[in-house]
Amino acid sequence: MKLSKGFTLIEVAIATLMLAVMIAAVYPTYKQHVRTIERQEVVRTIDGFAKQAREYYEDNATYTAFSPTMATPMTSYSFTTVTTPHSFVITAVPLNDQLYDRCGEISVNQLGQHHASKAPPAHSSDRCW
């Protein structure tokens, strides 16, 4: 009787199929985790912008000409700032794959109130912060 060494084509195909099924099951969870990490980074960024705005207001008694400065550009969000003499709203608008994040646009105002545009009604937008 001859002993064979190695794997048959059927065994390789079954192993490949099992690997593909495991990857397909795990990939969506991985992508959501990456989106959550990106969102946490942008939350820190807009909270930093809010701090800059409050410091600007202390120096100038108005928010009107405030424009936040960012050390490094982000590719997953763009930022908009709306100011009046006594208020501001800084919004992070998701781009690319972040469009699929469960929170959508996230914003902060002069009172430190946070808002997420896609936060489900059953959940507080605090889950996005």
Question: What are the mean pLDDT values of the chain's consecutive 10-residue runs (129 residues total)?
Answer: 78 94 92 91 93 95 90 86 94 92 92 85 63
The answer as to whether 66 is a domain residue is: yes
Asked if 106 contacts 46 with a C-beta cutoff of 8 angstroms, the reply is: yes
Q: What is the pTM of this model?
A: 0.78
The answer as to whether 1 is a domain residue is: no
CA distance 90 to 67: 10
Instruction: Count structural domains, the chain.
Output: 1
Q: What is the pLDDT of residue 87?
A: 94
Q: Which domain holds residue 80?
A: 9-128
Q: What is the pLDDT of residue 58?
A: 95
Q: Could you tell me where the DSSP H helices lie in 61-95?
A: none
The answer as to whether 2 is a domain residue is: no
